[in-house]
C-alpha cells in the first residue's frame, strides 16, 4: 500500500469550488481537463509538487514544481501539503497554502490527482467535488494505452494492474463519468461543474444583489 499523508486538516467553508478529478492512466483524464479549461477559463488548475524528473517540454512551475526528495520531505514535515501520495514510485503533493488562498477568494480550483490524494482532499475539504473518470471497458483501456505508444508492454501491464486497484475506489467519489465518447464525457464534466455553481450558497454569494432585490428572507 502506498504511503499516505496522515495529517488531518481542519475543514472550512470557502467561496471557491474545489473539483478533484481522478482516473486510471489511459481513461482520458488529461485530455478532458484540457478541453474543459479551453472552454471555461474560470476553472483554475493547481500545480503540484513532485519528486519525478521533468519529461519532454515540461517546465518547473507550469506542469509541476519539480523538487528533490529532501525538499519534499521538508514540505511534509512542515505540514505544507493538503494531500500527498506515492504514485508509480514517485511522490506527488498539493501545496496547502496556494490552494487555500485561491478558494478563499472564490476561485474554482481543479486538482488532477490520483485517488489516494482525492480521498485525502475530501477529508480536509468535505465540500470538495470528487469526480472519477472510467474507461468504457478493459479492452478500450488497453487499446488506448497501446495506441498512445508511450509505454513498453510491461509498463502497460503494470498500468492495467494498477487500474484495477484505482477503479475499486470509484464508490468513494461523488460523480462518475464514463469516457466512451469524448464529447459526451466533456459535456458530463461541464455539467457537474455548472451544477455546482448553481447551488444555493454559490448563487447567494455570487448574485447577492438579486437576492436582496427579491427581499428573500431565509429562515435560520
Return the closest-CA partner of residue 26 out of 147, 115, 129. 147
> CA 196, 202, 207 angle in degrees (round to 5)?
130
If one asks whether residue 95 binds ligand 5GP (CB under 6 A), the answer comes out as: no
One residue of 43, 80, 87, 141 binding ligand 5GP per CB under 6 A: 87
Question: Of 91 and 108, which has the nearer Cβ to ligand 5GP?
Answer: 91
If one asks whether residue 100 binds ligand 5GP (CB under 6 A), the answer comes out as: no
One residue of 4, 9, 37, 52 binding ligand 5GP per CB under 6 A: 52
Distance between CA atoms of residues 16 and 46, nearest Å: 13
One residue of 14, 19, 72, 92 binding ligand 5GP per CB under 6 A: 92
Radius of gyration of the chain (CA): 19
Answer yes or no: is 30 a known binding residue: yes
Q: State the alpha helices, DSSP H only, in 14-95.
A: 29-39, 69-77
Answer yes or no: is 29 a known binding residue: yes
Distance between CA atoms of residues 134 and 180, nearest Å: 9
Binding pattern to ligand 5GP, positions 101-120, x when CB under 6 A? Answer: -----------xxx-xx---
Q: What is the 3-state secondary structure (H, E, C) of 5-53?
A: CCCCCCCCCCCCCEEEEECCCCCCHHHHHHHHHHHCCCEEECCEEECCC
Answer yes or no: is 122 a known binding residue: no
Question: Of 83 and 108, which has the nearer Cβ to ligand 5GP?
Answer: 83
Q: What is the DSSP letter of 47?
A: P
One residue of 93, 133, 135, 193 binding ligand 5GP per CB under 6 A: 93
- Residues annotated within the binding site for ATP are 23-30
Applying CB under 6 A, the residues found at the interface with ligand 5GP are 48, 52, 83, 85, 87, 92-94, 112-114, 116-117
Amino acid at each position: 500500500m502506498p504511503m499516505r499523508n496522515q495529517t488531518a486538516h481542519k475543514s472550512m467553508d470557502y467561496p471557491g469550488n474545489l473539483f478533484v478529478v481522478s482516473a486510471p492512466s489511459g481513461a482520458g483524464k488529461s485530455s478532458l481537463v484540457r478541453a474543459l479549461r479551453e472552454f471555461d477559463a474560470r476553472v483554475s488548475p493547481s500545480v503540484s509538487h513532485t519528486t519525478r524528473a521533468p519529461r519532454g517540454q515540461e517546465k518547473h512551475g507550469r506542469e509541476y514544481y519539480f523538487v528533490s526528495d529532501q525538499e519534499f520531505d521538508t514540505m511534509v514535515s512542515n505540514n505544507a501539503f493538503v494531500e500527498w501520495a506515492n504514485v508509480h514510485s514517485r511522490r506527488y503533493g498539493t501545496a496547502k497554502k496556494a490552494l487555500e488562498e485561491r478558494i478563499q477568494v472564490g476561485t474554482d480550483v481543479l486538482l488532477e490527482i490520483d485517488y489516494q490524494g482525492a480521498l485525502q482532499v475530501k477529508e480536509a475539504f468535505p465540500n470538495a467535488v470528487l469526480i472519477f473518470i472510467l474507461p468504457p471497458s478493459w479492452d478500450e483501456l488497453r487499446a488506448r494505452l497501446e495506441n498512445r505508444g508511450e509505454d513498453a508492454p510491461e509498463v502497460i501491464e503494470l498500468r492495467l494492474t494498477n487500474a484495477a486497484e484505482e477503479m475499486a475506489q470509484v464508490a468513494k467519489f461523488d460523480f462518475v463519468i464514463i469516457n466512451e465518447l469524448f464529447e459526451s464525457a466533456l459535456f458530463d464534466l461541464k455539467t457537474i461543474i455548472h451544477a455546482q455553481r448553481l447551488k444555493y450558497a454559490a448563487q447567494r454569494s455570487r448574485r447577492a444583489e438579486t437576492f436582496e432585490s427579491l427581499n428573500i428572507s431565509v429562515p435560520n
